Amino acid sequence: MGGPRFEPVRAVRAYERVVEQVEEAVESGALSPGERLPSERELMVQFSVSRSTVREALRVLQARGLVRSRPGDPHGAEVLPFTPAALHKSMTTLARVEELSLAELVQFRMVLDSAAILLAARLRTEEQLAEMGRAVEAMRGAVEAGEDAFGAADVAFHDAVVRAGGNKLIEICTDVVRSIVLKLIAERIAEAPDREALMRRSIHHHEEVIAAMRAGDGPLAARLSRKAMYDYYAGYVEECERGALRALLE
Amino acid sequence: MGGPRFEPVRAVRAYERVVEQVEEAVESGALSPGERLPSERELMVQFSVSRSTVREALRVLQARGLVRSRPGDPHGAEVLPFTPAALHKSMTTLARVEELSLAELVQFRMVLDSAAILLAARLRTEEQLAEMGRAVEAMRGAVEAGEDAFGAADVAFHDAVVRAGGNKLIEICTDVVRSIVLKLIAERIAEAPDREALMRRSIHHHEEVIAAMRAGDGPLAARLSRKAMYDYYAGYVEECERGALRALLE
DNA sequence: GGCAATTTGTTCGTATGTATG
DNA sequence: ACATACATACGAACAAATTGC
């Protein structure tokens, strides 16, 4: 006994080492968005691997949203600014293969949104509050204009809220989950009965949320927002799953 | 005017079409975890592309956690069960390049955890409650045993809670963010002063949470859990950022 | 345990269409 | 318009690894 404790070594592919090095350079800031990677031929020299290996590595980096390469580009692959695209992709996959129900997704939104509102009620500036107000105004104007305009204004409101909340992780996850939910009910949302009444009630709810935030009552604002989201989406959720959503309404 | 409205066509690479088809097969259930893909040479015939193209596609699918291929395996690439590995990877990247602060991550955990507890307080079975109790017992026994055992028991507790909450998205995100947080403070957690006092207080908090859940008081249990997490992690968070965490304590 | 067949990992060469200057 | 350098894609080849006999 005693002696050195050796660890099992997993065979690591050549392309993985290339990925690791580029990834490290990007995440450490040595390579910034907008900058370019050397050309594939240059990379195969620097890493002393073949062209195919370089290309496989670039495919993986591209799948992770770190770089983008275009045919014929003399500048080489471009380092991209962070986008939640990869996060979006893996959550979408999760939603499909794990069969996440719409109820679970909406519930997740209710949780994140009310948390953001709770935070925003404390941290918001007057300007941010005004921005939320303008978004609700836009929603009012968009009732006639159609789904897309209304939806865009609604997104603007919630974006303003989560930004005011100051948590980037909440911001990004909210964005990702919202788009997944919208995609799931996109075809049903237009043909919902009482569409206009739903919109007007939603606007009313949003105004109540703003009022509560202005008064500094975060818990109330959060409770109101959960109620608003429940009212808006409950119609699309299976009856038997609404109970779980109502559990968040107190 | 009039005439057909043509849509812009983005040049789609050959490997992407391969990825799309395999991805569709996996997500639709036509290909189940444990099943095998044809060999690379067989795939190049079926898709009528070169082997390099097949391999680039396989690398992307592997990066997304859908398949795994090993050298020499005569059965071809294996279709994997879903793991949050890809989600974990993209969140870790997010944490690094977007410079998520520890405070934001902990805040996110406080939000998800208290939501799960709120749900679990309503939906938990007696058996699940008992499982949480056993986890706390294990924590008590692990105070002497060391960090790892205590941490494992703590994980078991929170796992039992989120499972009882019944939202798989919350479950997975909790798991991902927890491991990121732990990695960030791994080296500091062992050398924290008053380590044992921290553990004992944490155990006490967990017992209070269970009691509140048993009494059916979800909001109280959630509030207690936020407080518990704040107490446990506040020491690792920059002074100036603790305010944002306290905003969740009411 | 050893051996043969097959597969993946990797390299190299070549042809083609494309973007830049 | 042209030349250059690039990414895309194909095909052949060899080494290393795995499976099944």
Tell me if residue A31 falls in helix, strand or coil: coil
- What is the enclosing helix (H) or strand (E) of A99? none
d(CA B92, CA B98): 10
B76 touches strand C (CB under 7 A): yes
CA distance A159 to chain B (A): 17
- Tokens representing B114 are 């208290």
Position B156 scores a pLDDT of 96
Q: For the beta carbon of residue B44, count every other beta carbon within 10 angstroms.
A: 18
Triad A163, B102, B205: Cα angle to 5°: 105
Residue to test with chain B: of A82, A97, A101, A174, most B Cβ within 10 A: A97
For residues B124-130, give the mean pLDDT. Answer: 94
SS3 content of chain A, % helix, strand, coil (to 5): 70, 0, 25
Q: Find the nucleotide nearest B54 (Cα to C1′).
A: D9
Pairing label, strands B67-68, A78-79: unpaired
A41 touches strand C (CB under 7 A): no
Per the structure, the residue whose CA is closest to nucleotide C5 at C1' is B74
Position B4 scores a pLDDT of 59
A49 touches strand C (CB under 7 A): yes
What nucleotides of chain C have any atom within 7 angstroms of a protein Cβ? Answer: 5-14, 17-21
**Cα B14–chain centre separation:** 33
- Do the chains contact at A90 and B93, CB–CB below 8 Å? no
- What are residue A78's phi and psi, to 5 degrees? -95, 135
For residues A91-105, give the mean pLDDT. Answer: 89
B195-202 contacts: CB < 8 A, separation 24 or more?
B196/B143, B198/B231, B198/B232, B198/B235, B199/B139, B199/B143, B199/B150, B200/B143, B201/B231, B202/B139, B202/B154, B202/B228, B202/B231, B202/B232
Per the structure, the residue whose CA is closest to nucleotide D18 at C1' is B72
Position B180 scores a pLDDT of 94
pLDDT digits (tens, 9 = 90+) for B202-214: 999 999 999 999 9
- The answer to whether B27 and B81 have CB atoms below 8 angstroms apart is no
Position B97 scores a pLDDT of 85
pLDDT digits (tens, 9 = 90+) for B5-36: 555 566 789 999 999 999 999 989 999 999 99
pLDDT digits (tens, 9 = 90+) for B137-189: 999 999 888 788 999 999 999 999 999 999 999 999 999 999 999 999 988 88
- Do the chains contact at B86 and A82, CB–CB below 8 Å? no
* Measured CA A52 to C1' C12 distance, in angstroms: 10
Q: Find the nucleotide nearest B74 (Cα to C1′).
A: C7
For residues A52-79, give the mean pLDDT. Answer: 94
Q: What's the burial of A55, exposed, middle or buried (CB within 10 Å: 0-12/13-18/19+)? A: buried
Position B99 scores a pLDDT of 80
- The answer to whether B22 and B31 have CB atoms below 8 angstroms apart is yes
Question: Nearest to residue B65, comparing CAs of A82, A104, A91, A57?
Answer: A91
A148 pLDDT tier (thresholds 50, 70, 90): confident
Q: Find the nucleotide nearest A13 (Cα to C1′).
A: C9
A242 pLDDT tier (thresholds 50, 70, 90): very high
Position B98 scores a pLDDT of 80
Residue numbers in A near B15 (CB within 8 A): 59
A97 pLDDT tier (thresholds 50, 70, 90): confident
Of all residues in chain B, the one with the smallest CA distance to A57 is B59
CA distance B118 to chain A (A): 7
Position A96 scores a pLDDT of 87
Residue with tokens 């009691």: B211
Of all residues in chain A, the one with the smallest CA distance to B51 is A52
Specify the pTM. Answer: 0.90
Angle formed by the axes of helices A14-28 and B85-97, nearest 10°? 40
User: Which comes out higher in pLDDT, residue A190 or A85?
Assistant: A85
Q: For the beta carbon of residue A169, count every other beta carbon within 10 angstroms.
A: 23
Per the structure, the residue whose CA is closest to nucleotide D11 at C1' is B50
Give the count of Cβ contacts less than 8 A between chain A and B.
145
pLDDT digits (tens, 9 = 90+) for A70-90: 988 989 999 999 999 999 999
pLDDT digits (tens, 9 = 90+) for A200-226: 999 999 999 999 999 999 999 999 999
Is residue A190 scored above 80 in pLDDT? no
Of all residues in chain A, the one with the smallest CA distance to B174 is A108
Nearest by CB to A26, from B60, B97, B247: name it: B97
For residues A127-145, give the mean pLDDT. Answer: 93
- Do the chains contact at A247 and B112, CB–CB below 8 Å? no
pLDDT digits (tens, 9 = 90+) for B140-149: 999 888 788 9
Is residue B66 scored above 60 in pLDDT? yes
Of all residues in chain B, the one with the smallest CA distance to A63 is B60
